[in-house]
Amino acid sequence: MSAQAPPKPRDTTIAGPQTFAMIMGISGYKYVRPLTYADKDAEMFRDFLKSPGGGKLPDDNIYCLLNDQATSANFYSKGFQWLKVKKLQAGDRLFIYLAGHGDAIDEDQFFYLAYDCNPAGDKNNYLVGGAIQLFNLKKKIAAETAKGVEVYFIMDACRTSELPGGSDGQNFLNSAISEKRAGEVIMLATGAGQASLEDATIGAGHGLFTYYLIDGLTGVADTEGTVDNKITLEEIQKYVDKNVPSVAKERFKSKQDPFFCCNENSGKIVSIVDPEYLKKWLELKKLQASGGGTAAVAPRTRGLFGPADTLLIETYNYFNRAVKESRLTGKESAEYYYDLMEKNYPGNSYTIDAQSTLAVEFINFAQSKINLYLDCKDASSVQKLRAQIDEDEKTEEVNSSFDRMEKVAQQEFYEVGNMLEKAINIIRQDDPDFAKSLMGRMYFFKARGYFGKNRKTVDINNAFQYAYTAYASDKNAAYILNTLSNLHLDVNRYDSAIFYAKKAIIAAPRWRYPYVTLAFCYKTQNKADSAIKYYNKSIELDPENADAWVDLGHYYYSLGKADSAIAKYEKALTLDPRNVYASNNIGWLYHDRKEYDNAIRYFKRSIQTDPKFINAYNGLSKTFFEMDQYDSARIYYSKAFVNYKDKSIVNNYIGNFFRDLKIYDSAKVYYRLAAELDPNYEEAYNNLGRSSFALKEYDSAHYFYRKAFAANPYSANALVNIGLVFRALKIPDSTYTYFQQALQLEPGSPAIMNNLGVIYSQDKNYDSAKRYLRRALFIRPDYKPATNNLMKIFRELNELDSITNFMKGSSFLDPGSAAFMSDMGMVFMDQKRYDSARWYMRKAMVKEPASAQLQNNMGLILQGMKQYDSARVYMQRASRMAPDNPVYTQNLSGVFRQLKKFDSAAFYYKKVVLKQLEPGMEAFLDIGNFFTDIKMYDSAIAYSKIAMRLDEKQAVPYLRIGNAYLNLEMYDSALVYLQKAVQRDSASYPALHSLGLTYHALSRYDLAIAYIQKAIKVDPSKGKIYFELACSYAMNKQPDQAILYLSQAYQRGYKNTDALLTDPDLEGLKNLKGYIDLLDKYVPDWKNR
């Protein structure tokens, strides 16, 4: 372990005043426009102070933060802890140098932007977004000058007006700094409203002001007055004022007038000239002017000092390692090691340094979470606003997976609130202003995390209490107002949610998140015009924000407008090709349409972008499940287990997979694993109960549902499930007692109402079912499961007029509008009542003949009626009207396939793929697959070869080419490409399998056996490959092995028993007893054939 140490105290061996410096320089900002030379300016100022010309300051007298280390917490908490240790006294000198971005809200609120500052488009978010409030810094400066410390405040900021504060912010910034003096000497790079210039031609790449400031302090400014090897404030001001404005004007055609304050300090000596160092500096300037050289950068180091207990140092080093590895809380964490130090070595300098470091890390971690929230990217919000699954399957069970993810995010929020509370307690004594500025954030986190651990730590009432406490501390903080809106939305108080969202917009009109919250409120109320208005406003604020388009796409998805949704998602992918929610949601839309190949392509794209994205694994596995490719489905759940940190939810998904296969014992194994990993995981117990219920093990089901309720005493779903057990046991009184308890627990839950409606519907008690479903829709008008279940009841009762009346009564659309007619048409199309569907769609088209979506919908209806030529006409119109919509082009390709016009089908398919993606390897592989599907193998080979040339290291293109040659029975060519596929991926089951089949076709049976066996080792689950291996053994004159593998093939589920009689490779086995026994077992009537 490398040795580390806390900051050294003041060097008491030096008599008289000393000089210290706090320096920050940031070029590589995380959230705002980066700069180029601010960090180099800070390094140059630091190196000047360390030089003979700057006073030869030792490293221990300089606190320097550059780029990602330059956070507000590192500066305020750690930096001023460092300064406290130095015990500045009268006559000491302190330089505070800041280079980077500066901005202001108004003349009273002005900021230096730290590395992780995230205004999220609105200047009002500086209050919470990681900026350094210079008003508070001025108060700290005043405390030092009151002691007689000589403070120099130097700021080279204002490098752009492209920040949220704009030009007004730059004006406010400089005027506020200069007017609100705290007894310090002030040096600012620019006058009010000007930009501080930086360029590669200044020195070796620097800011104009800092370069001439250092140039003058080194000794060049000694020419501005008496040449005495001393640089006074008057001399440096004259030198900078002479050079900076003239260079700005002549070289950059711009205006930059530095600001110095104040005249009463004009005779103060700022630096002592060292002739030798000045000589070297002038030589360096000449070298830089000729195009070479740069200033040397001396690293900042800290050494151990004084005697210290070996165990203390070891614990301190473990503490720092934990910080480095981001293990802040829990077992063997930074907090754990700090507690040991505090217990055993209280007051020691190492312990004090660990304490301030821990506070800084807690604050920085909290800031990272706030920045995600400001960007509308915190996990809790994403699950609610942006994550998508097939809405028809959103039962309480499916919703539980989203609830789990949201709960994990919220639990983390609450824990972050606790971390921030600990940090506040640490820093409060030394820096009460900074501590006070963090209080609102602490309450914000606690309010956002109201589920806590099993909803026992904090419930919704406490959440509101925390939120209103935060609100009381700052009534204009938009992030708090938006949180209040979200809390009211969670309990279905829509008027209050809208009220606070609008207040958040007033407080921060350029921040996107409250517009999205407001849109979501209106969406939930089924107020489409208002919802779309605010979704569009969020886009207007930042049209290049891909997430804004995903939010709008998700809204169209919730309306059932799949084509519009895909168009918005594709727009998001155009702006950000790595947006996993856009690609994932398109995958779900294609899954809903049963276009499984496209669904798989988009789900895989999401996983390739983010291997930890659990929703895409679930979508991919569900798609393979519905294609009866169970092995592939299981493989992707296994991959999810490897990649996703919450193993409980993945085990739960795998359990669902086995339950869908009705393999309940295996399902219960995974549900138990989920519960063992998290004993408080309610849904794991609910699923154990459901599996036991399916097996009619009602006592076990009751036991597990009770465990679910114990894990979450707020769970109405657990009570409903217990009621279902009593219903199965035919104990009606207990059944409805538990149902009523569930309603009392969550009287405003549309999910509970929907569940009760479904249960009554199953009991054929349709009146009660309708009543509960309508109550669900009264609570939440956009709740699709209740809508779908009510429509299902109408269909079961053959109340077709009720469907129409329900649509008219519940739809937010004008019954005479084209949109309403279209919706009605699509309802009838879903019921395969194509004549009624066509009638409504024609009426819609009369009202909006130029609507591409209506033309496409009519094409889909005619396609369902198998009138493919007519369908083609309408889909071609849609594609011409909206050539950028890939859905219409895709649909057109499908119709041409049904017409067996494969050239046209291929033309439109290529148009879709090459337009949707940058034409990389995957795009050409997709086109190759299309040609393979329609058995145009020559074309498949041609496009797969293009893919191969784009990335010759990948095995897949070689595999596709080899398989195409195999289908063409060109075995020698197939062999060449399949061998190359295996060379590139020796664990590829498809490549090994195809290579084995190729060797078999070439009668090279030994090699066929070898490669098929290798494929089986990779995936032993497929029955058919054992049959193929048996055929190779039979042809290789190894009958015993052949009969053994034939038996294994059928034991592993191979269904084609007729192949025992018809496959010519098995001809040599027909007189063998073992083979005859197989025939007797699997083809009992074989003798009669």
Residue pLDDT, tens place only, 121-151: 777 777 776 788 888 888 888 889 899 999 9
| Confidence class for position 886, pLDDT limits 50, 70, 90 | confident
Rounded Cα gap, residues 464 and 469, in angstroms: 8
| Confidence class for position 248, pLDDT limits 50, 70, 90 | confident
Rounded Cα gap, residues 657 and 671, in angstroms: 11
Of 461, 370, 471, the C-alpha closest to 417 is: 370
Single pTM value for the model: 0.59
- Maximum average pLDDT range among 265-269, 438-442, 998-1002: 998-1002
Of 178, 191, 196, the C-alpha closest to 100 is: 196
827 to each of 589, 800, 843, 871, how far by Cα in Å?
17, 11, 15, 18
For residue 306, the 8-state DSSP code is S
> What is the pLDDT, as a whole number, of residue 961?
94
Mean pLDDT throughout 60-79? Answer: 89
Rounded Cα gap, residues 771 and 857, in angstroms: 33
Q: Name every residue whose Cβ is closer than 8 Å to that of residue 132 and which is 6 or more positions away in sequence.
A: 72, 75, 76, 98, 111, 112, 113, 114
Contact assessment for residue 852 and residue 822, using Cβ atoms and an 8 Å cutoff: no
Contact assessment for residue 539 and residue 549, using Cβ atoms and an 8 Å cutoff: yes
Rounded Cα gap, residues 725 and 734, in angstroms: 9
> What is the pLDDT, as a whole number, of residue 733?
84
CA distance from start to end of the chain:
79
Q: Is the pLDDT of residue 161 over 70?
A: no
Residue pLDDT, tens place only, 46-66: 999 998 888 899 999 999 999
Half-sphere exposure of 778 (CA within 13 A, CB side): 9
**Ramachandran category for residue 455: left, alpha or beta (phi over 0 → left; psi -120 to 50 → alpha):** left
Mean pLDDT throughout 515-536? Answer: 85
Rounded Cα gap, residues 1048 and 817, in angstroms: 63
Polymer length of the chain: 1089
Of 278, 271, 180, the C-alpha closest to 233 is: 271
Beta partners for residue 174, in sequence order: none
Residue pLDDT, tens place only, 372-421: 777 766 554 544 444 444 444 444 444 444 444 444 444 477 788 888 99
> What is the pLDDT, as a whole number, of residue 303?
33
Q: Is the pLDDT of residue 330 over 90?
A: no
Mean pLDDT throughout 798-815? Answer: 66
Of 333, 330, 336, 338, the C-alpha closest to 354 is: 338
- The larger pLDDT score, comparing residue 639 to residue 860, is at 860
DSSP 481-531: HHHHHHHHHHTT-HHHHHHHHHHHHHH-TT-SHHHHHHHHHHHHTT-HHHH
Mean pLDDT throughout 33-47? Answer: 89
| Confidence class for position 900, pLDDT limits 50, 70, 90 | confident
62-66/19-25 β-pairing: parallel
Q: Is the pLDDT of residue 918 over 60?
A: no
| Chain centroid offset of residue 429 CA | 37
> What is the pLDDT, as a whole number, of residue 171?
65
Of 122, 194, 135, 119, the C-alpha closest to 159 is: 194
Rounded Cα gap, residues 204 and 189, in angstroms: 19
Complete domains list, the chain, with CATH: 19-289 (3.40.50.1460), 490-542 (1.25.40.10)
Query: Percent of the chain having pLDDT more than 70?
Result: 88
> What is the pLDDT, as a whole number, of residue 672?
93
| Chain centroid offset of residue 174 CA | 37
> What is the pLDDT, as a whole number, of residue 292?
45
On average, the pLDDT of the chain sits at: 83
**340, amino acid identity:** L
